Amino acid sequence: MVSTSNICLLCKGSRALCGNNKCPLLPRFKIPTKAASISKNYFGPAYNVFVGRIGYPNIGIGPLTAIEEKNNIDRPTNWLGMDYSQIVELSSMLIRSKQKENIRSQSRFVSEIQYLALAQKPTDVELLFKKEPVYSISFSDIYQPMGPTASLKKMRITENISIERTVDKIVNDELKASKSAIMLYKTQN
């Protein structure tokens, strides 16, 4: 028997294994046409950061930006109650930019990515890609659907980053990770 979490991986929108007449995920994909309009230059908010795992200890990291600005685009806590197709569409709208860095690197780029991760709200960035972002969708039980991907040539943060005072204090203190995680959790609730 196939678990419900793996049905989409087996079906891939072609066999209606979920019991619906048509695939709830595929009809709403308008992403490829929107992704085609992305050039090698990008300006807009960085909603989050991407940290890869392939090639460890030299992994890809970079800002997650969007094809078009939408509310809740990278807020999984607000996705409760949304239709699957809406969630997949939101995830697929994120542009994953990346640059290879060693996990022990203390470069300026790594510092800027850390600040973007701590930012209280999306921060505007200017990106120059090596090539135009490439879009391909795949379903996996390991990772979420991703939007277009591109290797970074250059990144520049174009506005001041606002970091919540308590978050800044916790991050700059030399606390154990377990204590920091609990304190950060309490600041969010």
Using the predicted structure, report yes or no on whether residue 146 has a pLDDT greater than 80. no
**pLDDT computed for residue 35 by the predictor:** 59
pLDDT for 111 equals 93
Q: Residue 52: CB partners within 8 Å, gap ≥ 6?
A: 59, 60, 61, 98
pLDDT exceeds cutoff 50 at 71: yes
Counting Cβ atoms within 10 Å, is residue 93 exposed (0-12), middle (13-18) or buried (19+)?
buried
DSSP 95-112: EEEEEEEETT---HHHHH
pLDDT band at 139 (very low <50, low <70, confident <90, very high): low
> In the predicted model, what is the mean pLDDT of the chain?
82
Binned at pLDDT 50, 70 and 90, residue 1 comes out as very low
The CA distances from residue 144 to 43, 73, 118, 130, in Å, are 24, 13, 22, 24
Q: At residue 105, what are phi and psi to the nearest 5 degrees?
A: -65, 140
Give the residue among 187, 146, 144, 148 at the shortest CA–CA distance from 168.
187
Determine the Cα–Cα distance for residues 109 and 128; give it in Å rounded to an integer: 14
